[in-house]
Amino acid sequence: MNEKSSGLLYITDEISPRLRLMADTFKEVARRPSALAGGVFLVIIILTSIFFPFFYSVDPLDVNLLQRFIPPAWQEAGSLTYPLGTDNLGRDILARILYGSRVSLVVGFAAVLVAEIVGIILGLISGYYGGKIDNVIMRIADIFNAYPFMLLTISVMAVLGPSTFNLILVLGISDWVTYARTIRGSVLSLKNKEFVEASRAIGTSHPVIIFRHILPNVISPLLILGTLRVGSIIIWESGLSFLGMGVPPPMPTWGRMLAEGRVYITEAWWLVCLPGFAILLTILSVNLLGDGLRDAFDPRLKNI
Amino acid sequence: MLMLPGDASDQEIEELREQLGFNDPLHEQYWRFAYNAVQGDLGNSLYFNAPVMKIVLERLPASLELAIAAMLVALAIGIPLGIISAVRHGSMLDMGSMLVALFGLSMPHFWLGIMLMLFFSVFLGWLPTSGRGTLAHLIMPALSLGLPLMAMFARLTRSVMLEVLNLDYIRTARAKGLKEIIVISKHALKNTLIPLVTVAGMQFSAILGGTVIIETVFAWPGLGRLVVQAIFRRDYPLVQGIVFVLALIFVGMNLIVDILYVYLDPQISYTEDK
């Protein structure tokens, strides 16, 4: 803000501030080995989930009852045809885990995006206009908070019926409160600052003030908060899937693989171990990156 | 679920709709629910054909038992771990316990449950896989619900404690020549507890929500497993009743937390003119 107010410095600066911010972000993250590891791993996971059909084009739905319960290749009874073994219907586990990664990543990131958008809009309105609107929005937030997240999602999913779109919508809408509260707080502390008053004085309309002048100043903690939430959302997605309320069959999901494998826990340990490792690795890398971003940019969020 | 034979006549269907009150306007149905609910009547379960309140009260103790056990596990391991990490800041012990906490946060609790089951029941044969009754039945469900929360408490305790340990009054206490153990357990811990109580109160509802999956994994006869079954049986009055009761418990927990503040922090007061 200081740079913006002293116009000279702003103009002579050759690199655009946005680009510099991105470069700074990258530098800060790269300085922390654990965050860097998390980030690199997450990129690898995302790239794998997009491009794996070029390297491993096995149909995850291909049933082969003669090849049931083959253990992973490193076991004695395993074979290289099925690197991670097969399940109770002889389906290839590696292929199912790879397809499952798409579901978890898409639902995880999309739900956080929905939550961010709803939370940001409601938080901005609530903080900027104050008064009655603020009161209504914050009381709705209280109602959402008075309701265990898991119960809310499963009861709504039960009514709406399982589909990917519903899942993203339900997870996203259940999770907007934290974002709205955070952004409302920052807006409250900003809205009486000189630069907001100045633009109001020259007759700028409210929506322009909110989105052009206030939003860019309050959005960075929200992005960090979002990264921190992706992990929990993926856990809930796999949990709903485990209960049979997630993305509908036949699409393989990590949660459903665990639910199906649980029945054969005494015969085939790999059915319950491997999809869980996939979840663990994905969330571990998201969390490492999120922790690093938070420590670097917004230590105030430490307790969330 | 079919509530009438497949060849029921339109008139029979209409009679059932009337009897269940589906023909009334929505706000009237809602008013009737609220009116009865405050008198302890949550309607009848379609599947069990019994009052929802009775079924819920039968199953509630099992869920509470599990939730409280999980909370105890989380607090009893998480807080000491956090304190040790803060006091020995930067040591191997600190890094080790924070690594454990990170894994705890990154692991879906139901997978943890399945892994415990695989290890302790299938490989070692020490603990029963499912059901409720003895203490042995409680161990695995409580651990799998409690460990992710333990991770959260450990991280929170550590970060709050680190902040508190830098404050002036701690330096004063040390300068007075008090033993380190007294400085930490008497002076620092008290101020660390306030945010912990808030989070513990809020997380109690997360635990109740978590019982939905964990009870299904371990066939624990509580409300969580019942609500999943009720959803699949389309027993909506029962779903509604369970959700209602759990939300009540949650609101009650928040109230208790608010009252606890006053005891923990004399600076907080709910009377205006103080």
pLDDT (tens digit, 9 = 90+) per residue, B27-81? Answer: 778 787 777 777 777 777 777 778 888 888 888 888 888 888 999 999 899 888 8
Query: In this structure, are residues B200 and B75 in contact, taking their beta carbons and an 8 Å threshold?
Result: yes
Using 50, 70 and 90 to split pLDDT, how confident is the model at A283? very high
Please give the C-alpha separations between residue A31 and each of A221, A225, A301, in angstroms, as whole numbers: 20, 20, 20
Share of chain A above pLDDT 90, in %: 14
Write the pLDDT tens digit of every residue in B107-119: 888 898 888 888 8
Cis before A250 (ω within 30): yes
The residues pairing with A92 across neighbouring beta strands, listed in sequence order, are A86
Taking the CA of residue A293 and the nearest CA in chain B, the distance in Å comes to 15
Q: Do B117 and A266 touch (CB under 8 A)?
A: no
What torsion do the CA atoms of A45, A50, A52, A58 make, to the nearest 10 degrees? 120
| Beta-bridge partners for B44 | B51
Contact check, Cβ <8 Å, A148/B205: yes
Statement: residue A146 has pLDDT above 80: no
Rounded CA-CA distance B239/B219 in Å is 18
* Dist. CA A51–CA B166, nearest whole Å: 50
- Please, are residues A271 and A257 in contact by the beta-carbon 8 Å criterion? yes
Q: CB of B241 within 8 A of CB of B50?
A: no
B127 in contact with A, Cβ within 8 Å: no
Closest listed residue to residue B88, CA positions, set B75, B98, B73, B76? B98
Whether residue B212 lies within 8 A of chain A, CB to CB, comes out as yes
Average pLDDT, chain B: 81
Residues linked to residue B51 through DSSP beta bridges, in sequence order = B44
Region for A68 from its dihedrals, namely left if φ exceeds 0, alpha if ψ lies in -120 to 50, beta otherwise = beta
Q: What is the pLDDT of residue B2?
A: 58
Q: How far is the alpha carbon of B209 from chain A, nearest alpha carbon, in Å?
A: 5
pLDDT digits (tens, 9 = 90+) for A148-185: 777 778 878 877 888 888 889 988 988 888 889 888 88
**Dihedral angle at the C-alpha atoms of B25, B31, B34, B37, nearest 10 degrees?**
-80
Q: Which residue of A has its CA nearest to B225?
A: A243
**pTM, full prediction:** 0.82
Q: Which residue among B106, B208, B228 places its CB closest to the CB of A284? A: B106
What residues contact residue B47 under an 8 Å CB cut-off, 6+ apart?
B1, B230, B233, B235, B238
**pLDDT, greater one: B56 or A303:** B56
pLDDT at A175: 86
Token representation of residue A209: 């003030």
B102 touches chain A (CB under 8 A): yes
Note whether B217 contacts A303, CB cutoff 8 Å: no
The rounded Cα A11 to chain-centroid distance in angstroms is: 37
Query: Which structure tokens are listed for B161?
Result: 């404690």
Predicted local distance difference test score (pLDDT) of residue B266 = 66
Q: What is the mean pLDDT of residues A267-288?
A: 89
Proportion of chain A above pLDDT 70, given as a percent: 91
Are B239 and A155 within 8 A, CB to CB?
A: yes
Res A56: pLDDT: 80
Interface test with A, best of B99, B111, B217, B239 (most A CBs within 10 A): B111
Stretch 229-288 of chain A: residues touching chain B, C-beta under 8 Å: 231, 235, 238-239, 242-245, 258, 262, 265-266, 269, 272-273, 276, 279-280, 283-284, 287-288
Contact B48, B36 (CB under 8 A): no
CA distance B112 to B127: 15
Q: How far is B116 from chain A (nearest CA, A)?
A: 11
The rounded distance, in Å, linking the Cα atoms of B229 and A5 is 61
What's the pLDDT band for A1 if we cut at 50, 70, 90? very low
Quick: pLDDT tens for B140-187.
888 898 888 898 888 888 888 888 877 788 778 778 877 777 777 777
Token pair in block for residue A45: 């996971």
- The answer to whether the beta carbons of residues A233 and A299 sit under 8 Å apart is no
* A268-276: average pLDDT: 86
- SS3 of A130, please? coil
